[in-house]
Amino acid sequence: MEENEGPPRVPAELSSSYRDARDHAPELTWNYAAKGFLRRGETSVLYGPSNCGKSAIVCHLGHCIITGSAFFGARVTQGLVLHVGAEAPNSILDRLQAYDLRQEEQNSYIVRMNAVDLSNPGEVAAFVADAKRIYRHTGQKIVLVVFDTLARSIGTFDENCASSMTGVADAGGRIADALKAHVMFVHHTGKDTDRGGRGSSALRGAVDTELALKPLEGGAVLLSQEKQRTMPKGEAVRFKTKAHVLGQDEDGEDRTTVTATELEGGAPVPEGRRASKDSIAIEMAVRTSLHIRRMTGEHAVDEFQTRDLLKTLPPELFGRIADDSRMKSVRRCLLSLARERSPVVRDSGNGWKLVVEHNVPEVTGL
């Protein structure tokens, strides 16, 4: 009789439902649609009051995905976007005309012209079959699926009923799993905008990510992450909506649509709150390290990772904070430098690169 090497594992016949933690290998890839915002195979709800730019920012996100462009400095997985225009499909198509959609290297942005009833399992299955057929036809992986709006996509479900909203999230989860894509629901706020999306809060509990839009003074809109189940919460960002002229109507007057434009500098600093001395010191150190990299000449145009830059900074600068928190601090600095009017670095898609046509500002003391 063979001697056991340790305590017994889970019986083989139960291994599909039970796992011994000693046999687990952590998944280290994020498998993101937009890194730090949305993961593929997961679900989200984006909510905001009427006319605050919900569809505009979703179309902007979708355009970033089909072109492989950064979304508020975040890397994206390039691929196909499938936007279910349950409420106003022609309006979505109009918004997309603000972009150059005929670039050879970009993927397709497909708009479905009618709703999908998420309360009907047969209709959900048919939609998944349609999406897979589009994938086979285009050869483009589906990265993002949008249901716009949730209210027009729930069929016989009741948005004020917890079990109904859990059913919506479950349907979205099945679609996300079947297509290996991120599924987003676009939703409205109720009368009290501070209470989040309209209807039952069960939807918030069931999705993986919750994104909120809040209009600010001066016409800007704040996009904040209210919930992240599997990723660290990112900082809030801002955008503005602007008119795009589609052409002239029958009376010779401009016919316009609305698009979203990212604003620099992230979220505004709340009144009475200022950058800490530590954050200023980290920024100075990052600028100094970038300046040294530039001065090396041969390495000035080389791509580098956030971790590469972190290794060049004095460890005592960060005190006792964990390595992942140090990485976030350095990445925040790089994102800020990439958003400046004369950016010092840019996100290359696989890392960072110095912007060689601009000089790193001279570093001065505190």
Taking the chain, what is the end-to-end CA distance rounded to the nearest angstrom? 72
DSSP 3-state helix, strand, coil percentages of the chain (rounded to 5)?
35, 25, 45
pLDDT of residue 241: 95
User: Mind listing the pLDDT tens digit of every residue in the chain (366 residues)?
Assistant: 445 566 788 998 998 899 999 889 988 889 999 999 999 999 999 999 988 999 999 999 999 999 999 999 999 999 999 999 999 999 999 999 999 888 778 999 999 999 999 999 999 999 999 999 999 999 999 999 999 999 999 999 999 999 999 999 999 999 999 999 999 999 988 655 555 667 788 898 899 999 999 999 888 999 999 999 999 888 899 999 999 999 999 999 999 999 999 997 555 444 433 445 577 788 888 888 888 888 776 667 788 888 888 888 988 888 767 777 788 888 888 888 877 777 888 877 678 888 865 444 444 443
| 264: Cβ contacts below 8 Å, ≥ 6 apart | 339, 340, 341
The partner residues of 109 in beta bridges, in order of sequence, read 81
Question: Which CB contacts under 8 angstroms, 24+ apart, belong to 307-311?
Answer: 309/334, 309/352
Q: Which two tokens stand for residue 116?
A: 């999908």
Check if the beta carbon of residue 229 is closer than 8 Å to that of residue 205: no
pLDDT of residue 365: 42
- Report d(CA 329, CA 282) in Å as an integer: 8
pLDDT of residue 223: 96
Best CA proximity match to 45, nearest among 128, 147, 119: 147
In the numeric block, the tokens 């001279």 are attached to 362
pLDDT of residue 303: 86
Best CA proximity match to 221, nearest among 43, 33, 49: 49
Burial code of 275-294, b = ≥16 C-beta within 10 A, e = fewer?
eeeeeeebbbbbbebbbebb
- Report d(CA 279, CA 334) in Å as an integer: 13
Read off the amino acid at residue 244: H
Label residue 347 exposed, middle or buried (CB < 10 Å: 0-12, 13-18, 19+): middle
| pTM check: above 0.85 | no
Label residue 258 exposed, middle or buried (CB < 10 Å: 0-12, 13-18, 19+): middle
How many other CB atoms are found less than 10 A from the CB of residue 346? 15
Q: Which two tokens stand for residue 145?
A: 């699926």
pLDDT of residue 55: 95
Distance of CA 41 to the CA centre of its chain: 13
Q: Which two tokens stand for residue 100?
A: 């150059």
- Report d(CA 185, CA 86) in Å as an integer: 11
pLDDT of residue 265: 58
